[in-house]
Amino acid sequence: MSPAAGDATSASAPLSLSGKRVLVTGGAGFLGAPVSRLLERGGAAEVTVPRSSRHDLTDTSAVAELFESARPDIVLHLAAEVGGIGANRDNPGRFFYANMAMGLNMIEEARRRGVEKFVQVGTVCSYPKFTPVPFSESSLWDGYPEETNAPYGVAKKALLVMLAAYREQYDFPGIFLMPTNLYGPRDNFDPSSSHVIPALIRKCEEARLEGAASITCWGTGSASREFLYVEDCAEAIVAATERYESPEPVNIGVGKEITIRELVELIAEVTDFNGEIEWDTSKPDGQPRRVLDTARAESEIGFHAATSFEHGLGATVDWFREHLGAGERARAR
């Protein structure tokens, strides 16, 4: 039995969103925005989306003030400080503190206020470095996470323990979801903090516009990853909010992997970059393989990702070109 295990099951009646006040931290962000839209369409009476400029979730008093004004029935905690391998290497202390502090404050205040449901969005980065594939939720505690993102992954996993402890002592209705790597329109394309897909789209597109002969990518290209379209993830989160009650964590993914080398070649093709692809093997690959066992999500909340990778990748490239590519095109003239 994992540290999250308990007596609760997911067999209770679905939670209706109709007429509920819902608080969504990170609700204006890449994942949070589509989640908030789905909640509104599902009949929520009010969806409160706090902004970090007004509410510092690492500050206990700011969180208490937020709950006082929002008076939520349901809380979805999506807010996080996160980035790619480089950002994780540069900010291990900040990523641990911020994610730990935000989660601690949000869960405790939700307990104090007696919310009906608390949904914590975790991360696939919490899994051990050498987890057998596909990653099963039962393997979550079988080792230490991959070093470059361990502080972030451990901070998120600690919140699973907190939810289990609060469920045992206070009968607190919290659930924990672990999405795989996300991608899609409105992603973070900042080269200093972006994840692999937006970083590669920007790299290939800029190289194409500049007529560069080659691009350089980190690592060997041998590591594999799984990617979930952001709108599909939003559907899963809302479905779990309505239907899932168990303390056991749930993987949210597609159950398919692609190597980074294959990913780079595919993005180069989609962006029409025809130059050479070089590999800087002095840089880390990160976790060797990453693909999720999605059986629990399918059986418990009926989730199956609907968007093909090719379609989602094309939509992401199109969005980048329309919204962020104008400056690059202008400089290339």
Q: Which residues are catalytic?
A: 152
- In the 3-class helix/strand/coil scheme, how is 18-65 assigned residue by residue? CCCEEEEECCCCCCHHHHHHHHHHCCCCEEECCCCCCCCCCCHHHHHH
Contact 80, 100 (CB under 8 A): no
Alpha carbons 87 and 194: distance in angstroms, whole number: 8
Q: Which residues contact 244 (CB under 8 A, 6 or more apart)?
A: 10, 175, 250, 300, 301
Q: Select from 198, 108, 107, 136 the least CA-distant residue to 2.
A: 136
Q: Quick check: helix, strand or coil at residue 208? A: helix
Alpha carbons 103 and 162: distance in angstroms, whole number: 9
Lookup result for tokens 């969180």: 63
Contact 273, 309 (CB under 8 A): no
Q: How far is CA 95 from the centre of its chain?
A: 14
In the chain, how long is the greatest CA-to-CA distance?
64
Alpha carbons 107 and 172: distance in angstroms, whole number: 9
Alpha carbons 6 and 168: distance in angstroms, whole number: 7
The length of the chain is 333
CA torsion, ordered 193, 327, 232, 55, to nearest 10 deg: 60
